[in-house]
C-alpha cells in the first residue's frame, strides 16, 4: 500500500508568526536562518514557507528555527536583499489539503517592489498609501485582493499607481506592518485572478483588432 502524503501548495496571506532573522551567510546565494515560534515538527526538509511573501524552501531546521537559501534573482527582485540580522519576517507555512482558506490564493511569487508612501491612523486602524510599479497598476482594483509582504489585504481605493489599504488592529499587531516606515520597500504580489482577467481581456482585444 502506498503511503499517504500531505500535499502542500500555495498560501492564503494569513500570517501565522513573526520570525526573526538569526543569521545571514552572504556568499553566492544567501543562507538565512530564521527563528520562529511555529511548531516545525511536521515540516519536512524541502517544504515551502512564505517569508514576508517570498516562497522559500526549508533546507535545514531545528526546534525553533529553519534555514533557507535565497538566489541572486530573488535578492534583486524582493526586499530580502535588504534584510539584516534582527529583522522581523512574516511567516506562513504552505497550505495542506483541507486547511481553511482564510485570505486569498497567494503563490509566494513576488511580482515587484511597492513603496509605502504614507501611514495615517484612523480610529484604532491604520490607512496605508502604497505606490506600485506602473506595469502592475492595471492589476489593482478597488475591493480586490493584494498581498503585501505576504499579508492578504483588500484594496480600498485606487488612483493611478497609488492605492490604499486599511489595517485593523489585529493585523497591525500580528504582522510586521507596524515596523514599516514611509518610503520603505514592500514585496507585492497581485491577485492571480486579476492577472488572468487582464490576460483574457488582452486576448479579446487582439482578436477584435
Cell of 37: 515560534
Same-domain status, 119 and 203? yes
CB within 8 Å of 128: residues ≥ 6 apart: 116, 118, 119, 164, 165, 166, 167, 177
CB within 8 Å of 163: residues ≥ 6 apart: 129, 130, 132, 140, 146, 155, 156, 157
Same-domain status, 122 and 87? no
Same-domain status, 81 and 46? yes
Query: Within a domain: residue 187?
Result: yes
Query: Which of 96, 125, 154 is the endpoint of a domain?
Result: 96
Count of domains for the chain = 2
- Euclidean distance between CA atoms 84 and 90, whole angstroms: 14
Query: Within a domain: residue 73?
Result: yes
* Residue carrying C-alpha cell 512574516: 90
The pLDDT tens digits along the chain (209 residues) read 333 444 445 899 999 999 999 999 998 899 999 999 999 998 999 999 999 999 999 999 999 999 999 999 999 999 999 999 999 999 999 877 656 666 788 999 999 999 999 999 999 999 999 999 999 998 999 999 999 999 999 999 999 999 999 999 999 999 999 999 999 999 999 987 766 566 555 555 555 55
Residue 167 belongs to domain with CATH number: 2.40.30.20
Query: Within a domain: residue 54?
Result: yes
- Structural domain of 20: 8-96
Same-domain status, 116 and 92? no
pTM confidence score? 0.88
Amino acid at each position: 500500500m502506498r503511503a499517504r502524503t500531505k500535499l502542500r501548495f500555495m498560501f492564503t496571506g494569513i500570517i501565522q508568526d513573526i520570525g526573526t532573522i538569526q543569521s545571514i551567510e552572504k556568499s553566492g546565494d544567501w543562507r538565512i536562518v530564521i527563528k520562529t515560534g511555529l511548531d516545525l515538527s511536521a515540516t519536512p526538509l524541502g517544504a515551502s514557507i512564505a517569508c514576508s511573501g517570498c516562497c522559500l524552501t526549508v533546507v535545514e531546521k531545528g526546534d525553533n528555527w529553519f534555514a533557507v537559501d535565497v538566489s541572486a534573482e530573488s535578492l534583486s527582485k524582493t526586499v530580502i536583499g535588504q534584510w539584516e540580522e534582527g529583522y522581523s519576517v512574516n511567516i506562513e507555512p504552505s497550505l495542506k489539503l483541507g486547511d481553511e482558506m482564510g485570505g486569498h490564493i497567494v503563490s509566494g511569487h513576488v511580482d515587484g517592489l511597492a513603496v509605502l508612501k504614507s501611514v495615517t491612523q484612523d480610529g484604532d486602524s491604520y490607512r496605508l498609501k502604497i505606490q506600485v510599479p506602473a506595469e502592475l497598476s492595471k492589476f489593482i482594483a478597488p475591493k480586490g485582493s493584494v498581498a503585501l509582504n505576504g499579508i492578504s489585504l483588500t484594496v480600498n481605493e485606487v488612483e493611478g499607481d497609488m492605492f490604499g489599504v486599511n489595517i485593523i488592529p489585529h493585523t497591525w499587531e500580528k504582522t510586521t506592518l507596524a515596523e514599516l516606515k514611509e518610503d520603505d520597500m514592500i514585496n507585492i504580489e497581485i491577485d492571480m485572478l486579476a492577472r488572468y482577467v487582464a490576460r483574457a481581456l488582452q486576448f479579446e482585444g487582439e482578436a477584435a483588432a
